[in-house]
Amino acid sequence: MRLRWLSLRALLQSAVICSALALPGPIANAQGQDRAPQYFQSDIQYGAQIFASQCTSCHGENGDMVPGVNFHAGQFKRVLSDNDLRLTITNGVPGTAMQPFTFGASEITGLVSYLRNMNSFSAQGLLVGNPARGRTLFEGAGNCVSCHAVNGKGPRVAPDLGDIGALRTAELIHRTLLDPAASMLPANRPVRAVTLDGKVINGRRLNEDTYTVQLIDEQERLLSLSKADLREFTVLKSTPMPSYKDKFSSQEFADLEAYLLSLRGVK
């Protein structure tokens, strides 16, 4: 489901722009959780925006309009764990006005993160991005299109980002823009292989097992190499992707992240 950015206008009116980069890391607020209890500011912010656009008509801005439920106070009717919360959002509650929502994984992570931290979250600190401006950055100043395609438009040297908003959480996207080498999916790491006859192959790893490695090389060819046929095989921890830490302003980060989160694949 695409975000309804226009409906965030009310939230925007009260928002004071601050640096998303200065916000703290994980927030542990995990009473009664059985897993995934670390909440990140980027996810919480993303969840706040989804909540404002999708949930407030029934639950109210403070999450306390449904009898017996008060998100702000951590009061739920039937939810114990984060997984319960995910299931309730996805499946709805039969016989009530709570309908099933077809959110993607990153949206649900955002919503759960927000609902679990509503009591400590302040919209005063919310920085809301504009996906249209983010696209301009993606295609322009960021020069992302020199390596990344979006739904088949562009090069294949780096992963196609056409569904990145469905695959990666807001927090992971944020972290990747700051420190791409550390956040890169290990399977995507650049590899260098030298065959027994001295041929050098550079590419991006797609998969690997004990005996073989699958990659896409610089000529965008899909290759499967047998390690027994290689003289050298190196997995690099560096990445050609630059960090945008000092390149973009906080607002530009928010815009770029909003654009990336809006990329949800071909439907």
Partner 1 sequence: MNPRLRASCLLLFLGSLIPCSLCAQVTNERLLHANDEPQNWLTYSGSYASQRYSALQQINASNVKNLELKWVFQAQSLQKFEATPLVVDGIMYLTQSPDDVVALDAKTGRAFWIYHYATSPASRPCCGIVNRGVAILGDSLFMATVDAHLVAIDAKNGHALWNVKLAEAAAGYAMTMAPLVVKDKVIVGVAGGEFGVRGFIAAFEARTGKEAWRFDTIPKPGEPGHESWRGGDWEHGSAAVWVTGSYDPELNLTYWGTGNPGPDWNPEQRPGDNLYSDSAVALDPDTGKLKWYYQFTPGDPYDYDSVQIPVLVNANWNGAPRKLMLWGNRNGFFYVLDRGTGKFLAGRPFVKVNWASGIDSNGRPILTPQPPGVPTFPGIQGGTNWYSPSYSPRTGLFYLSTWENYATIFSGVNADYREGQRYTGGANTSPIPGADNPAGQRQGPVNTYTEALARGAVVALNPETGKQEWKFDMHDVNTSGILTTASDLLFVGGREGYFQSLDARTGALLWKQNLGGEIIAGPMTYQIDGNQYVSIASGNSLFTFALRQ
User: Which tokens in the block code for residue 100?
Assistant: 């099933």
- Provide the minimum distance between the beta carbon of 113 and partner 1 in the complex, in angstroms, as a whole number: 13
Residue 37 or 125 having the CB closest to partner 1: 37
Residue 7 or 188 having the CB closest to partner 1: 188
Q: Which residue carries 């949800």 as its tokens?
A: 264
Residue 52 or 85 having the CB closest to partner 1: 85
- Is the CB of residue 107 less than 8 Å from the CB of residue 258? no
- Provide the minimum distance between the beta carbon of 124 and partner 1 in the complex, in angstroms, as a whole number: 28
Residue 12 or 235 having the CB closest to partner 1: 235
- Provide the minimum distance between the beta carbon of 43 and partner 1 in the complex, in angstroms, as a whole number: 12
The total number of residues written for the chain in this structure: 267
- Provide the minimum distance between the beta carbon of 48 and partner 1 in the complex, in angstroms, as a whole number: 22
Interacting residues toward partner 1 by CB under 8 A: 28, 30-35, 37-38, 80-81, 83, 168-169, 172, 175, 182-183, 185-187, 189, 205-211, 235
| 3-state secondary structure string across 152-221 | CECCCCCCCCCCHHHHCCHHHHHHHHHCHHHHCCHHHCEEEEEECCCCEEEEEEEEECCCEEEEEECCCC
Residue 133 or 175 having the CB closest to partner 1: 175
Residue 72 or 175 having the CB closest to partner 1: 175
Residue 23 or 235 having the CB closest to partner 1: 235
- Provide the minimum distance between the beta carbon of 15 and partner 1 in the complex, in angstroms, as a whole number: 28
- Provide the minimum distance between the beta carbon of 31 and partner 1 in the complex, in angstroms, as a whole number: 6
- Provide the minimum distance between the beta carbon of 120 and partner 1 in the complex, in angstroms, as a whole number: 17
